[in-house]
Chains A and B, each alone.
Chain A
Amino acid sequence: MKQPSLQMTDAQRSSTIAAVFCITLGVIYCIMTSLLPQAAVGMPNAPKVFPYALGFSLTGLGIGLLIQQILSIRQNSPKTEVKEKSETVTVDYHTKQILLTVANGVLYALLFKKLGYVLSTTLFLGLELFLFNGKGKWKVVLAVSVIFSLFIYILFNKLLGVYLPMMPVVGF
């Protein structure tokens, strides 16, 4: 490969990754489709036709996107790359925040039924507010998360009849 083709703008990089992702997903999806059982009624392969079409289309579109990106990278002018680099630091911060939010969400899902709505939500919201605000404002964080959980719980359980899980033992 020529030297310029390795340097790409942020947009090109993410598009290329997306293209590779699509190709991979398309292939995996096709393999999974081939493993589906046959239908007992009607035509045996009827449930597979549409998924196959989707799998092949996605693979094809992924290849198309990849070619598009390779062509545009070749035409790259070196000027566009300079300013992109400064952003990498914040992107890392950003990714970290997202991963932490996802982890917090998983924790929430695990505790939701065990702790009941009010406790688990206070915890989830508290952690999330902390992620956004940092250590300084713990009073605000605490107040918002407790009030929100109680408010929603009462609104849903008492007024709307949409039952959220209760806390064990205490029954709230």
Chain B
Amino acid sequence: MRRMRRMSRIMMIIAAAAIMLTASTAVFANGQGEASAENYPSGNLDFVAPGGAGGGWDLTIRTTAKALKDTKLVNVPMPVRNNPGAGGSVHLASLQEMKGEDRTITVYSSPLLLTKLNGTTDLGHNDVTPLACLIADYASFVVAANSPYNSMADIMNALKNDIKSVKIGGNSSAGSMDHLQFLLMAKAAGVQNLNQIDYVSFDDSAVAQVLGGHIDLFSTGLSEIASLVESGDLKALGQTAGHRVGTGVIAEIQTCKEQGIDATFINWRGIFGPPEMPEYAVTYWRNTLKELVQTDEWAQAKTTNGWDDAYMDAPEFAEFLDQANADYESILKEIGMIK
């Protein structure tokens, strides 16, 4: 029995290697994507994570590619490459050179809007073609297990009494997601002088900082803290979805809305094509992704990663992006990060 399994594993790997090899030959054959409406997609697709290996975008696009392959929805090779830099802006710039092409598929999330707002780049959500929003993660706010704070209200009251009394930590830089999502909640809770709140940016080690008691509150993604909340090392005070999310300990985390803070924050992740992507390709991906989100494989991937379903088809997604952009802009104006 065991030997059989081993054999099949070897076979799978040989098959994978063979696919990879034929794939790379195929790209030479029609690398320039002269594919048309009838035979799309043919040849290699080009899946890109605009961030480094191991990050959230990388995980999303690789999971998507794996699910598309496992469900046989897409039968051409989908090699994933990384094109990191400046919060995804570097890839955004290179997408502008691929106007009208149909092979490149990219993932983006909130930073797509934020990088334009904070002046990193002049390019924004209008310079890519939205295909579908796939998943959402939400913000969550966690404290060390022995922290005196037990609810979002405790935090907000402390801030109202002394704006410097709670040190907020996050992984992204000031004015980016981890910072912004907390400010949105603080604003809804009626905290004044938002730009006086101490936000400390750690590269990617803020979890260790809150565990060690060096910062009071860690502002992060809901999916990132599951294992530490489950083990009891961290205490989650609230999350920013409009509803309870997930299963187990995650489902026990109260929303900010339940705690009387009338605001939500969604870190959507969606799939995009290059600007002016041809109509047949847009249609193909809208249909394919719609099918993908209904498969068991996708459901499985969502559970594993703690992602919430947030499927939106392209037109709805585009509207959503405009609205989110306006929300972010107003909060950044309020703290003076944009004039």
Contacts and interface: CB of A to CB of B under 8 A. Distances in A.
Determine whether A and B are in direct contact in the complex, meaning some CB atoms lie less than 8 angstroms apart.
yes
B291 interface: no
Given A40-B336, A41-B174, A171 B28 contact: yes
Q: Looking at chain A's contact residues, is the secondary structure mostly helix, strand, loop, or mixed?
A: loop
Contacts of B24: 157-158
A86 B28 CA distance: 56
B185 to A, nearest CB: 16
Contacts of A35: none
Nearest to A157: B24
A41 B337 contact: yes
Given A157-B24, A163-B81, A171 B337 contact: no
Contacts of A171: 27-32
Interface string B19-42: 011001001111110000000000
Given A158-B21, A161-B79, A40 B335 contact: yes
A42 B198 contact: yes
B195 interface: yes
Contact of A172 (B28, B195, B335): B28
A50 B93 CA distance: 31
Contacts of B79: 161, 163
Contact of B81 (A39, A42, A158, A161): A161
B175 interface: yes
A6 interface: no
B147 to A, nearest CB: 23
A157 B44 CA distance: 13
15 contacts: A39-B174, A40-B195, A40-B335, A40-B336, A41-B174, A41-B335, A41-B337, A161-B79, A163-B81, A166-B27, A166-B31, A171-B28, A171-B29, A171-B32, A172-B28
Contacts of A157: 24
B33 to A, nearest CB: 10
B31 A41 contact: no
B81 A41 contact: no
A169 interface: yes
B199 interface: yes
Nearest to B199: A41
Contacts of B20: 158
List the 9 closest A-B pairs by CB distance, nearest first. A171-B31, A40-B336, A40-B337, A158-B24, A163-B81, A171-B28, A41-B195, A41-B174, A172-B28
Interface of B: 20-21, 24, 27-32, 79, 81, 174-175, 179, 195, 197-199, 335-337
A172 B21 CA distance: 15
Contacts of B197: 41
A39 B198 CA distance: 13
B338 to A, nearest CB: 8
Contacts of B29: 171
Contacts of B31: 166, 171-172
A157 B77 CA distance: 14
Nearest to A38: B336
Interface in A130-172: 157-158, 161-163, 166, 169, 171-172
A42 B167 CA distance: 12
A113 to B, nearest CB: 9
B141 to A, nearest CB: 18
A39 B199 CA distance: 13
A152 to B, nearest CB: 15
A106 to B, nearest CB: 21
A7 B79 CA distance: 63
B262 to A, nearest CB: 24
A40 B20 CA distance: 49
Given A158-B24, A172-B28, 5 more contacts: A39-B174, A40-B175, A40-B335, A171-B27, A171-B28
A81 B304 CA distance: 73
Contacts of A161: 79, 81
Contacts of B28: 166, 171-172
A172 to B, nearest CB: 5
A166 B29 CA distance: 12
Contacts of B195: 40-41
Contacts of A163: 79, 81
Contacts of B21: 158
Nearest to A161: B79
Interface in A34-51: 39-42
Taking each of A39, A161, A166, A171, which has the highest tally of chain B beta carbons within 10 Å of its own beta carbon?
A171
